[in-house]
């Protein structure tokens, strides 16, 4: 893989804070994409990490270490956007491990000229609880159902597995630097101002999210996102009937990956 010395096809932006437990696994999963032939730059943004996370990043010469003093993951992602050089910006988080063909699948998905944003499938580790794995299946089925069958008011985003045409950030501006849901707000901007471009779910763009191992912890976080989404004037939650339709589409095999 040709790294930052050449013009990249993809800029990967990863914010981090107190991430020393998972950061090396995240970086190594990204660097293992090398045989796929996608020119890429990796931008890791230190958001004031109180541990040795920055030192871990420095151990990898093919990774660019940036710093952002404004607290918050979206401020850190925006710092990455200011440095990014590629026409595709891919996002994941420091507690995620990407599949070996993650970059290849992102590039493939964005070869379709009418696609502006790609959202991928998220899974949890094998040691996670059965209930959490079912929740992953539900979350993946939900985003596919929303993007395929619902009006843009129901759309949402998640920057732990997301890719965007850089031209959209140039046109619409960066993320809102909120504590949460800046990705969903950006997706709503895309839907409102560029209705000619699709927000697309691709089940082949996959990451494993290591932050949660229990259903209860993940459900608490999702509830916080629900509260933050209320700040977006255009956002609407699914109805009870729509949620039942999502449940009917869940597949636990692959945690809802569609395969």
Of 96, 92, 129, 79, the C-alpha closest to 10 is: 92
Contact in structure between 3 and 41 (CB atoms under 8 Å):
yes
Confidence (pLDDT) at 205: 97
Confidence (pLDDT) at 217: 67
What is the rounded CA–CA span in Å between residue 127 and residue 214? Answer: 10
Of 25, 26, 5, the C-alpha closest to 160 is: 26
Confidence (pLDDT) at 104: 94
Rounded-to-5 percentages of helix, strand, coil across the chain: 40, 20, 40
Q: Return the bridge partners of 43, or none.
A: 13, 64
**Could you list the pLDDT tens digit for every one of the 259 residues in the chain?**
444 456 899 999 999 999 999 999 999 999 998 545 778 999 999 999 999 999 999 999 999 999 999 999 999 999 999 999 999 999 999 999 999 999 999 999 999 999 999 999 999 888 888 888 888 999 999 999 999 999 999 999 999 999 999 999 999 999 999 988 999 999 999 999 999 999 999 999 999 998 765 666 676 676 666 767 778 888 999 999 999 999 988 876 545 433 2
What is the rounded CA–CA span in Å between residue 32 and residue 177? Answer: 31
Domain ranges for the chain: 10-251
Confidence (pLDDT) at 259: 28
- Which helix (DSSP H) or strand (DSSP E) does residue 105 occupy? helix 102-109
- Domain 10-251 part of CATH 3.90.550.10: yes
């Amino acid at each position: 893989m040709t790294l930052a010395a050449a013009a990249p096809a993809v800029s990967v932006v990863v914010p981090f804070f107190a991430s020393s437990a998972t950061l090396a696994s995240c970086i190594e999963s990204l660097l293992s994409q090398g045989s796929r032939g996608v020119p890429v730059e990796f931008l890791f943004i230190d958001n004031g990490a109180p541990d040795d996370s920055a030192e871990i990043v420095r151990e990898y010469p093919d990774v660019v270490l940036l710093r952002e003093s404004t607290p918050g993951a979206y401020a850190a992602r925006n710092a990455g956007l200011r440095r990014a050089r590629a026409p595709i910006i891919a996002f994941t988080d420091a507690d995620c491990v990407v599949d070996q063909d993650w970059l290849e699948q992102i590039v493939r998905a964005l070869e379709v000229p009418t696609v502006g944003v790609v959202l991928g499938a998220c899974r949890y580790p094998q040691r996670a609880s059965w209930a959490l794995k079912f929740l992953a299946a539900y979350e993946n089925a939900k985003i596919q159902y929303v993007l395929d069958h619902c009006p843009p008011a129901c759309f949402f985003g998640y920057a732990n597995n997301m890719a965007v045409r850089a031209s959209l950030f140039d046109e619409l501006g960066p993320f809102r630097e909120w504590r949460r849901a800046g990705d969903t707000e950006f997706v709503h901007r895309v839907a409102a101002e560029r209705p000619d471009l699709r927000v697309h779910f691709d089940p082949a763009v996959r990451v494993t999210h290591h932050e949660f191992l229990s259903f209860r912890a993940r459900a608490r976080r999702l509830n916080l996102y629900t509260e933050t989404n209320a700040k977006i004037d255009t956002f609407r939650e699914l109805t009870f009937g729509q949620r039942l339709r999502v449940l009917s589409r869940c597949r636990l095999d692959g945690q809802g990956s569609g395969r």
